[in-house]
Homo-oligomer: A and B are copies of this chain.
Amino acid sequence: MSTWTLAQRAHKMNPSVIREILKVTEKPGIISFAGGLPSPKTFPIEAFAQASERVLREDGAAALQYAASEGFAPLRELVAKSLPWDVDPAQVLITTGSQQGLDLVAKVLIDVGSRVLVETPTYLGALQAFAPMEPVVVSVHSDEQGVDLDHLAQQMGTGSDAARFLYVLPNFQNPTGRSMSEARRAALVERASALGLPLMEDNPYGDLWFDTPPPAPLTARNPEGCIYLGSFSKVLAPGLRLGYLVAPKSIFPKLLQAKQAADLHSPGYNQRMVVALMQNGFLDGHVPTIRSLYKSQCQAMLAALALEMAGLGVEWNAPDGGMFLWVRLPEGMDAVELLPKAVDKGVAFVPGAAFYAEQADPRTLRLCFVTASVAQIQTGIAALAQAIRALQAA
């Protein structure tokens, strides 16, 4: 009889609430606003087919061989050039999706019991990536622009309990869709620097703006005090599993060692396909088509909400980009209770409670506006309104 003894950290790991919800919503006929899936209409299948053919023909043996843990040099250079501050390609680490960036950062910066600060609410995947390293995750109050700076200072901790970093998603945040203003960014970077607090800036959605690009990243304002995480999942396709991080040179070697131990390197074949697309300027024409599609989908959802939720006491925001908007149900209503009723009516969402490190607001829920069609959005929001009415009547 073999005896399996789990590590302590394994008890802190939990299945994703969202995954469990997604399983429920896989029933045929359910309109799902629950996932965070980019619209498959935006996947450049033909361009990938050409890129794959070219990579295998011109560079097949190298694309299929073991490779450097740092990533494919031309991709690191293209990433460095694409960023709006002075980035040395030697600071760019290619990761297996930006989720892996979170895992590597957690390994390198979090001890058992380390204080880690997050927004209220925050990206669930980050909480999951940090959990195995057993931090104490502490929420900072946040408004429609992100973290409250005075509360940040209060939550910072002191001495050996000083926070290791603040994890922040300034552009079209997952889950809320909110963005930080220029003024808040400038003030946050200044305050964090004064506090000696490193920032972990996650920016998977920054390119998905509707009308105007967001203000400069936090990292551009203080590169030595920030780690920046980027992704190709939203501008090209998630199925390649490619992201990157940019780190100060003092931290980079440890992140690289963690990367090497984690999976040796990200697939060189996939990295070359992205390079093939970036080199011929494909992204410059492609990303605007995603922006335009997502803007029209967002507008359709806002219009449907205005129509269907009238008089119900439901509130929501109007994001300037990204994939999500954030809804608040009337006083006394709980989104977790609403969900099964909504699924009965044929529509799904994620209760906001999933995204809080502590003290969840039970009235909130997240809607993704990019996966469903406009017609589905109209039908689905009407069904959601029916479910809310049914719960109010109950």
Q: Which residues of A contact B (CB under 8 A)?
A: 1-10, 13-16, 19, 35-38, 40, 43, 45, 48-49, 52-53, 56-57, 60-67, 69, 95-97, 99-100, 103, 107-112, 114, 125, 128-129, 131-133, 162, 164, 192-193, 196-199, 222, 224-226, 233, 237-241, 248, 250-251, 253-254, 256-258, 260-270
Q: Which residue of chain B has its CB nearest to the CB of A264?
A: B99
CA distance A203 to B158 in the complex (A): 48
**Which chain B positions have C-beta within 8 A of A268?**
239
**Which chain B positions have C-beta within 8 A of A56?**
45, 48-49, 52
Q: How many copies does the complex hold?
A: 2
- Complex partner residue of A64 from B40, B253, B265, CB under 8 angstroms: B40
Q: Is the CB of B48 within 8 A of A49?
A: no
Q: Is the CB of A257 within 8 A of B111?
A: no
The 7 tightest CB contacts between A and B, nearest first, are A2-B225, A64-B237, A40-B61, A64-B239, A45-B60, A3-B196, A13-B257
Q: Is the CB of A262 within 8 A of B103?
A: yes
- Complex partner residue of A264 from B53, B107, B125, B260, CB under 8 angstroms: B125
**Which chain B positions have C-beta within 8 A of A110?**
7
Given A48-B64, A65-B237, residue A2 in contact with residue B196 (CB < 8 A): yes
CA distance A8 to B56 in the complex (A): 42
- Complex partner residue of A263 from B6, B43, B100, CB under 8 angstroms: B100
Most buried by B among A10, A97, A110, A263: A263
CA distance A36 to B268 in the complex (A): 17
A95 to chain B, nearest CB (A): 8
Q: Is the CB of B225 within 8 A of A7?
A: no
A131 to chain B, nearest CB (A): 7
**Which chain B positions have C-beta within 8 A of A60?**
43, 45, 48-49
